[in-house]
Structure 1
Amino acid sequence: MIRPQWEWVFDDAEGRGLEQPVSPVFGNQFDAEQWLGETWRELARQDVAVARLMHDGTQVTAPVPLRVP
């Protein structure tokens, strides 16, 4: 049985995809969203402007803007 894979892809402020940082791969949406909630500040410091959650290669949620106050 193949397990579904959830992962984040990241864009910069101009909407270009970033190769770094790289998201871990998760077995469910809850774990993926929890990870983003715990790491978004660090990602924003690495010039990530937007995170998009992908499920087996398809975007499944609205893009999440990351901003450090």
Structure 2
Amino acid sequence: MVWTWRYEKADGSAVTSSLGQEEFAGQGDAETWIGETWKQLAEEGVDTAVLLEDGAKVYAMSLHEG
């Protein structure tokens, strides 16, 4: 299984990050990575990060504090 993040603007359109597209062996690794990089992603214009398992949506989370 491959875990990845998809980055979106508030309207659902795709956003490309300077961090590239990481692939993770497990959900925990993916969640640790987003926890370390979410502020940079938000500064790049990402509003929502969507966790994907083999391309299927697991959940979406806002990158805005509050």
Would you call these one fold, judging by a TM-score over 0.5?
A: yes
Which runs of structure 1 show a deviation greater than 2 angstroms over 4 or more consecutive aligned residues?
A: none
TM-score of the pair, normalised by structure 2: 0.88
Aligned residue pairs: how many? 64
Q: Which sections of structure 1, spanning at least 5 residues, go unmatched?
A: none
Q: CA deviation at 1:15?
A: 1.4
Q: Which sections of structure 2, spanning at least 5 residues, go unmatched?
A: none
Q: Percent identity?
A: 36
TM-score of the pair, normalised by structure 1: 0.85
Residue by residue over 1:25-65, the C-alpha shift from the partner in whole angstroms, topping out at 9 and shown as x without a partner, is 0000000000000000000000000000000010012x100
State the Cα RMSD in Å.
1.3
